[in-house]
Amino acid sequence: MSPPITPRTTPDDTTPDSPVPGTAPGTPPGAAPVSLTRTLRPLLAPLAISIALPLALYYVLRAGGMAQWQALLLSSVVPAGHAVAQAVRTRRAEVFDLLIVALLLVSAGTSLISGSPRVLLLKDAGLPAVLGLWILGTLWAARPFAFRFGERLRGPDGACAAELAWQERPEFRSALRRLTLLWAAGQLLDAVLSTVEALTLPVDAVPVIGRFQSLTLLAVVVVVTVRGSRAFRARHGISLFAPSAPRPGPATADSQGAACGARHDPPGRP
């Protein structure tokens, strides 16, 4: 496989197809740049808490002689405990955090009854299964998952431009729906593979294999997403995730204002 195209950028670049280092497409001159580090920080911490810490804790406990189901249960408490602490601190429970806690409680209760550690392993298949189905379901929502994901990278002007592109450019809508389907497929494939591994592989091998599998699938989806976004920009002159503010001509000020207003009360699918 040929190496990905990596233009020379600063560490604070927002997106791979940003025209100016450190600045998202659509950012007005003089506006503060959107930091890639600031954008990714909220995503990196959950990865460490949900993947790295439980994995390390499991093998430390196993090295100390703890039974498999006990080590799996205690290592699963780390992300569940973090989810509860976040909900208490912010006084708001996220759906993703509630899902982690619910899966832990159900799998722990079932494992205690059955005495099988494989029930706890199946919890790791349940999370991507639910996420994949949820992402897939957004294809029938007003805006799909890929469009909502791009909101993390857009400034106010970029948000208006994205809404206008969604309403007026069928190729923009189609590309974001394809990427949404890609992300859903990646999660569902992870769920299927994790289920097979939990039921067939040695119990002590499943946690590390499953974590690396999930990260590998995520990396593949991200690479395909980045390359697809670059190809779309090269072909259509607009970024999928941080479109530039429209220039006078194709869209009038009235249509741009209507698009921005529609973000607060989104219409159904075009």
Q: What percent of the chain has pLDDT over 90?
A: 30
Structure token pair of residue 107: 């799998």
Q: Which of these ranges, 33-37, 72-76, 154-158, 207-211, has the smallest mean pLDDT?
A: 33-37
pLDDT band at 96 (very low <50, low <70, confident <90, very high): low
In 65-146 the beta strands, taken as DSSP E runs, fall at none
The pLDDT value given to residue 57 = 87
Q: In angstroms, rounded to a whole number, what is the distance separating the alpha carbons of residues 68 and 59?
A: 10
Res 179: pLDDT: 95
Q: Give per-residue pLDDT as tens, 170-184.
A: 999 999 999 999 999
pLDDT at 212: 92
Tokens for 56?
């390390």
The partner residues of 248 in beta bridges, in order of sequence, read 251
The rounded distance, in Å, linking the Cα atoms of 150 and 130 is 21
Query: Which of 27-41, 125-139, 169-183, 235-249 is least confident?
Result: 27-41
- Indicate the pLDDT class of residue 209, thresholds 50, 70 and 90: very high
Q: Are 160 and 247 in contact (CB under 8 A)?
A: no
pLDDT at 129 over 80: yes
Report how far apart the first and last C-alpha atoms of the chain are (Å, whole number). Answer: 37
User: Residue written as tokens 């091998």?
Assistant: 205
pLDDT at 97: 66
Q: Which amino acid is at 166?
A: W
- The percentage of the chain sitting over the pLDDT mark of 70, rounded to a whole number, equals 64
* pLDDT, greater one: 103 or 11: 103
